[in-house]
Chains A and B, each alone.
Chain A
Amino acid sequence: MSQMRQLTEGAEMSSCPSCEEPLESGDLYCGACGFDLSAAPEPVSADDHPTIAINGAAPQGGSAPQAPQAPQAPEVPQEPAASVQWPEAPDASTSTHHPGELRGTDSSGGELPGAGAPAAEPAAAVRFDHPQGADEYALQAPDPRTVAPAAATPPAGTKLCVACRTGTVDQDGYCEHCGHAQPRERDHMERELDAVAAVSDRGLRHHRNEDAFAVSATALPDGSPAVVAIVCDGVSSATRPDEASAAASQAANESLLASLPRGTHPQQAMHDAIIAASDAVNSLAQDPAHAREHDPHRHQNAPACTLVGSVIAGGLLVVGWVGDSRVYWVPEDRTAPAARLTEDDSWAAQMVAAGLMNEEEAYADERAHAITGWLGADAYELEPHTASFKPDRAGVVVVCTDGLWNYAEGAAEMAAVVPADAAERPLHCAQVLVGHALDGGGHDNVTVAVLPFSLTPQGAGSA
């Protein structure tokens, strides 16, 4: 059972995200264009800072950046990449991974499985490269923030159904002719800051997008930039997975935006962010006001999602995760090997880790994608994984849900899909990667964040 009339969740918007029409309190749908306001993500104003100014005002490299607990890649020379004095992060060591423990994740090269194979020529391997992205799928939602202003505010009453192009769209977001649901805000989301971009898409087989992401940029206490990307994948077998992923990504992002400027070590900050995200998802389970009554087929189990995040700050690349969403490292110099930086909390990964199956067998099993770790009130024990790297070369960091990596599982495969100019055009790269998943069948929601990493993060080159 499902009640059709759902309340708008929390977000108080002052104007329609689709057509800028002023809204009244309690509106479920925009009065002018019929946009479904309940489908809109949380307001993004909180993290909608432009990337910090690139003014060359980076502190001159005085003190050595000895990070007491921060793990470092073994062969990377200690160079003053950042002038940040990390405080002690005593908790981090107890629950974090260190590069040495994490097989195949050291982005400094050398120890990676399959590292010998140079990445294929990226341009040739790109099967979908459509700068406009938006025309690619029938139910593509024009992103209100990226569409040209003239097109973003159609006169009220002239909005035609995207499915039949005949009927107008009613207040509930359905066509008045053929009844088809119109694209929702979350069906396709894009966001671009100077140093990070992300794209999320419903895919071709699921009826709603249960993925969510947050990207933001802030500054460390010394003024050097810090870039954050969080990607979450709602667990479909749980109730309200879309709310779980939205809450988790927002909470983790806010936690990082609060702790990084205070000088918390990025790895500790990531650890704390995962805890904060977990708390946010747990609180959904206790919130009966949000509980969707009469859910037709799902057990009333707690909302749950995965989380993967990446922070680039002070020359460090920090990743954190719970579940099977992943981070890949793709060096700018494609002759160097790409790497996966995360280790899935999944049945398949556990079987491989335990030596019970090889990777091929494990991933062929129908249980392969069953996750063994997640955020949610019914998680057995939250085990946030974090890892910190100090890359010795430029590259891009790809943060994604399994909706993407199902179509580019290995690091080399992923690297083959990442365009050569990914560092210069992160949004374009994210669009290409989403397109790759859709071309492959789009069986799941797909979400990708792309963060360029440069060795001179304060410099103009990073943008």
Chain B
Amino acid sequence: MANFSKSNVPQFSVEVYQNEYLPEGGREVNAIVTVTSTGGGTVGGTAVRAYAAGSTPDAAVAIMVDCSGSMDYPPTKMRNARDATAAAIDTLRDGVHFAIIGGTHVAKEVYPGGGQLAVADDRTRDQAKQALRKLSAGGGTAIGTWLKLADRLLASADVSIRHGILLTDGRNEHESPEDLKAALDACAGRYTCDARGVGTDWEVKEVTGIASALLGTADIVADPAGLAADFTQMMEAAMGKEVADVALRLWTPVGTEIKFVKQVAPTVEELTSRRTEAGPRAGDYPTGSWGDESRDYHVCVQVPNADLGQEMLAARVSLVVPQSDGGVQTLSQGLVRAVWTDDMAASTSINPQVAHYTGQAELAQVIQQGLEARKAGDMDGATAKLGRAVQLAAASGNEDTAKLLAKVVDVEDAATGTVRLKAKVEDADEMTLETRSTKTVRVKK
């Protein structure tokens, strides 16, 4: 289908899954909103795309590589980080603006330098890889400084997609948590950023916090040898992004209270507190940039009571993207309704999508609580929480999470959630489980 309104902007569709029927006196309305964008960059998971002749990619990427002293222990870590960055550079499309930042307790421009971005072509890719050889380990870790430098560099290009890739192997020890928080607040909404922890000496909450604040992905690369493949995949995903700064806009009628808004697929991401007001009774929740992809959101609102037989709009959900003139373009929208009925069969049934994602959100929560309890020495609490996690993962068909859980607990009966904590757990397994605890699966068809 031809879309002449704006080239390269994907088509967005919004589908609402809900049981709109409420019993007499019922007030809570739950809906799963599935947002799908198609017609963007990626085809079959790769960055293959047909650009119209003469058009240039509209993106800039900054790669932040941890060069702190610990990257030399073992030395393969630094070598693998260099190789991974080189692989990512090879994945850059011609015409994409890019820079490489070496991160220690300060941030250093590795390539091209001079507060500039390079434009990718064969020559600059070669130069960048040459510059990588000079990277050496030594110094501390102050991730906030890396993020702020990346922001300055990315802002120098007149592009619509701005993305960062951040690699760290250690804790953010050479600045205060407040400094990092301030840097994240300053950068939020200006570019998106994927964060990776390599090895097992980094702090899961720091890495997931960065990805969450900057609307990117977080993951662990326990074995440095896996970095190149991971960097290539991250860069391909970045190259597939077509439209940035997309917000989920929620309009609710008078008297309606928004209980929560969260992304529930592909990962659980709480958005409730990230609302910015957007006109009367409307607010925007950031979703970052989009390629060819589909995400699910769980919206829960409390509506005023109404008589049986009444129907009301509980929320209008739309996808909006800012325009140069200061307004917004609405990409797609869907309606969340409330209908009061005395048909008990209708009002008591739970929508399968809502039930599924309620379970997935609980799964992420009990994994995190279980691991916290385990670290705190509360073995009974950890057993109970992780047992519940095993049960939820099995029931919902979240096999990846079930496998990760099985490395932390011995599963006796998944259906009832009967587990025993393993006496010895590899750090990498525990960190992988924690980092990926928010990963969800979609409803089994």
Residues on A facing B (Cβ under 8 Å): 1-5, 139, 164, 167, 170, 172, 174-181, 202-208, 236, 294, 296-298
Question: A59 CB to closest chain B CB, in angstroms?
Answer: 51
Bound state CA distance, A176 and B315, in angstroms? 10
**Extra 4 A-B pairs, beta carbons < 8 Å, given A167-B254, A176-B253, A179-B254:** A2-B19, A2-B337, A174-B313, A174-B335
Bound state CA distance, A396 and B261, in angstroms? 58
Closest 4 CB pairs of A and B: A179-B253, A174-B313, A181-B311, A297-B349
Question: A178 CB to closest chain B CB, in angstroms?
Answer: 5
Bound state CA distance, A2 and B343, in angstroms? 16
**Which of B17, B306, B313, B335 has the most chain A CB within a 10 Å cutoff?**
B313
Once the chains bind, are A205 and B254 in contact (CB under 8 Å)?
A: no
Name B310's contact: one of A1, A2, A4, A181 (CB within 8 Å): A181
By a CB distance below 8 angstroms, the chain A residues around B17 are 1-3, 294
**Which of B254, B306, B353 has the most chain A CB within a 10 Å cutoff?**
B254
B182 within 8 A of A: no
Chain A contact residues: helix, strand, loop or mixed: loop
| A2-B309 contact given A179-B254, A207-B340, CB 8 Å threshold | no
Once the chains bind, are A179 and B256 in contact (CB under 8 Å)?
A: yes
B252 within 8 A of A: yes
Name B19's contact: one of A139, A207, A297 (CB within 8 Å): A297
| A178-B254 contact given A1-B18, A294-B17, CB 8 Å threshold | yes
Once the chains bind, are B352 and A4 in contact (CB under 8 Å)?
A: no
Bound state CA distance, A3 and B343, in angstroms? 20
Contact with A along B186-216 (1 / 0, CB 8 A): 0000000000000000000000000000000
Bound state CA distance, A205 and B342, in angstroms? 7
By a CB distance below 8 angstroms, the chain A residues around B314 are 179
| A179-B16 contact given A1-B353, A4-B334, A4-B335, CB 8 Å threshold | no
Question: B116 CB to closest chain A CB, in angstroms?
Answer: 47
B21 within 8 A of A: yes
A-B contact count (CB 8 A): 100
Bound state CA distance, A172 and B316, in angstroms? 10
Q: Can you list 5 residue pairs at the A/B interface with Cβ under 8 Å?
A: A1-B18, A1-B352, A170-B316, A174-B316, A207-B340
By a CB distance below 8 angstroms, the chain B residues around A205 are 308-309, 341-342
Contact with A along B16-32 (1 / 0, CB 8 A): 11111100000000000
Once the chains bind, are B253 and A296 in contact (CB under 8 Å)?
A: no
Question: A439 CB to closest chain B CB, in angstroms?
Answer: 16
Bound state CA distance, A178 and B281, in angstroms? 10
Q: Which residue of B lies closest to A2 (CB)?
A: B20
Bound state CA distance, A5 and B304, in angstroms? 24
By a CB distance below 8 angstroms, the chain A residues around B310 are 139, 180-181, 207
By a CB distance below 8 angstroms, the chain A residues around B342 are 205
Q: Which residue of B lies closest to A296 (CB)?
A: B19
Q: How large is the interface on B (under 10, 10 to 19, 20 to 34, 35 or more residues)?
A: 35 or more
Bound state CA distance, A236 and B340, in angstroms? 15
Residues on B facing A (Cβ under 8 Å): 15-21, 252-256, 303-304, 306-314, 316, 334-337, 339-343, 345-346, 349, 351-353
By a CB distance below 8 angstroms, the chain B residues around A298 are 346
Once the chains bind, are A2 and B312 in contact (CB under 8 Å)?
A: no
Once the chains bind, are A179 and B353 in contact (CB under 8 Å)?
A: no
By a CB distance below 8 angstroms, the chain A residues around B343 are 236
Q: Which residue of A lies closest to B307 (CB)?
A: A204
| A180-B311 contact given A2-B18, A207-B340, CB 8 Å threshold | yes
Question: A211 CB to closest chain B CB, in angstroms?
Answer: 14
Bound state CA distance, A202 and B20, in angstroms? 18
**Which of A170, A172, A178 has the most chain B CB within a 10 Å cutoff?**
A178
Once the chains bind, are A179 and B313 in contact (CB under 8 Å)?
A: yes
| A297-B313 contact given A4-B335, A175-B253, CB 8 Å threshold | no
Q: Which residue of A lies closest to B17 (CB)?
A: A1
Once the chains bind, are B346 and A181 in contact (CB under 8 Å)?
A: no
Bound state CA distance, A181 and B307, in angstroms? 13
| A178-B20 contact given A172-B313, A207-B340, A296-B349, CB 8 Å threshold | no
Question: B57 CB to closest chain A CB, in angstroms?
Answer: 33
Bound state CA distance, A297 and B347, in angstroms? 8
By a CB distance below 8 angstroms, the chain B residues around A139 are 310
| A178-B312 contact given A2-B20, A296-B346, CB 8 Å threshold | yes
Question: A162 CB to closest chain B CB, in angstroms?
Answer: 11
By a CB distance below 8 angstroms, the chain B residues around A297 are 19, 21, 345-346, 349
Name A178's contact: one of B253, B345, B346, B352 (CB within 8 Å): B253
Question: A228 CB to closest chain B CB, in angstroms?
Answer: 31
By a CB distance below 8 angstroms, the chain A residues around B20 are 2, 296
By a CB distance below 8 angstroms, the chain B residues around A202 are 309
Question: A317 CB to closest chain B CB, in angstroms?
Answer: 35
By a CB distance below 8 angstroms, the chain A residues around B21 are 296-297
Once the chains bind, are A179 and B252 in contact (CB under 8 Å)?
A: yes
Question: A313 CB to closest chain B CB, in angstroms?
Answer: 38
Once the chains bind, are B309 and A1 in contact (CB under 8 Å)?
A: no
By a CB distance below 8 angstroms, the chain A residues around B336 are 4
Q: Which residue of B lies closest to A237 (CB)?
A: B345
Question: A422 CB to closest chain B CB, in angstroms?
Answer: 28
By a CB distance below 8 angstroms, the chain A residues around B18 are 1-2, 296
Name B16's contact: one of A3, A167, A180, A181 (CB within 8 Å): A3
Once the chains bind, are B15 and A3 in contact (CB under 8 Å)?
A: yes
By a CB distance below 8 angstroms, the chain A residues around B313 are 170, 172, 174-175, 179-181
Bound state CA distance, A338 and B20, in angstroms? 44
Bound state CA distance, A194 and B140, in angstroms? 93
Question: B43 CB to closest chain A CB, in angstroms?
Answer: 26
By a CB distance below 8 angstroms, the chain B residues around A3 are 15-17
Bound state CA distance, A179 and B255, in angstroms? 10
By a CB distance below 8 angstroms, the chain A residues around B255 are 178
Once the chains bind, are B253 and A206 in contact (CB under 8 Å)?
A: no
Question: A39 CB to closest chain B CB, in angstroms?
Answer: 11
Bound state CA distance, A176 and B280, in angstroms? 10
Once the chains bind, are B335 and A172 in contact (CB under 8 Å)?
A: yes
Question: B254 CB to closest chain A CB, in angstroms?
Answer: 5
By a CB distance below 8 angstroms, the chain A residues around B304 are 178
Question: A9 CB to closest chain B CB, in angstroms?
Answer: 18
